[in-house]
Amino acid sequence: MKLLPLLLLACAEPPTTARPAQVIATPPAPVTEKAESHWVERTDLELDDALKSVCRDSVEDGKPILLEFSAPWCVDCRKLNELSTDDAVKAELEQFHHLTVDVGKWDRHKPLIAAFEVSALAWWVAMKPTNCGHAITKWPRLKEGGFEPASSPTGVRTAEGVATWLAEARNGA
C-alpha cells in the first residue's frame, strides 16, 4: 500500500456505516534485462550521435545497418524482440549494426519517422551507407518493412521468417 493513501486515510474521519475500500497493489510485470536495454530513450541530438557512430562503424567494417523503429508498449515490438533471441535470428543480427529508435508514443523523433514513412510498429530499415556526410535519408536502403508477429496473421510471425528477412536484407534482396 502506498504511503500517501495511508496518510490520507489516517487524517480522515472514518465513515460511520461503510468500511473503507481495500486497496490491492498489483506488482508490475517483470521486465527482462534484455528488454530494458533494448529500448533506450534518446533525445534527437543523442540519436543523431548514435546514427553517426553506427554509420562510421558500418563504413569501416562493411556491415549494413539495421534501424529498428520500436516502442516498449508495442505488442509486435515486444514479440519481435522476443524472436530475436532465436539462434538463427541472433546469427543474422550479428551481421548488422543494430540501432533501435524508441519512438515513445509516436512523440519522439518525428522527422525521422516521417522521413522513413513509418506508419506502423515494428518497422525495420536495412541500410548500407557509403558516406556518413550524407543525410540518413540518402543512405542506400537494402530493405524496409513492418513486422506484426503478434497482431497480424499475414505478418512475419516466426523466428525463421525474421531470419529470412534479415538475410534477404543483408544480401540486398
Q: Which of 133, 141, 148 is nearest to 169 (CA)?
A: 141
Pick the CATH number of 39-170 from 3.30.300.130, 3.30.70.100, 3.30.470.20, 3.40.30.10: 3.40.30.10
Spans of all domains in the chain:
39-170
| pLDDT given for residue 154 in this prediction | 60
The pLDDT tens digits of the residues spanning 131-158 come to 999 999 999 999 998 887 777 666 677 8
- Rounded to a whole number of angstroms, the CA Rg of the chain reads 22
116 or 7: which carries more pLDDT confidence? 116
On average, the pLDDT of the chain sits at 81
| pLDDT given for residue 110 in this prediction | 94
Crossing angle of helices 159-170 and 75-83, rounded to 10°: 80
Peptide bond into 122 cis (omega under 30): yes
Q: Which of 54, 11, 17, 52 is nearest to 134 (CA)?
A: 52
| pLDDT given for residue 147 in this prediction | 80
| pLDDT given for residue 106 in this prediction | 92
Grid coordinates of 37: 536495454
CA 36 – CA 42 distance, rounded (Å): 14
Average pLDDT over residues 56-69: 96
The pLDDT tens digits of the residues spanning 65-121 come to 999 999 999 998 998 899 999 999 999 999 999 999 999 999 999 999 999 999 889
The pLDDT tens digits of the residues spanning 9-44 come to 333 334 444 444 443 333 333 444 444 578 889 999
> 166: pLDDT confidence band, cut at 50, 70 and 90?
very high
Statement: residue 129 has pLDDT above 80: yes
CA 12 – CA 42 distance, rounded (Å): 44
| pLDDT given for residue 14 in this prediction | 40
| pLDDT given for residue 64 in this prediction | 97
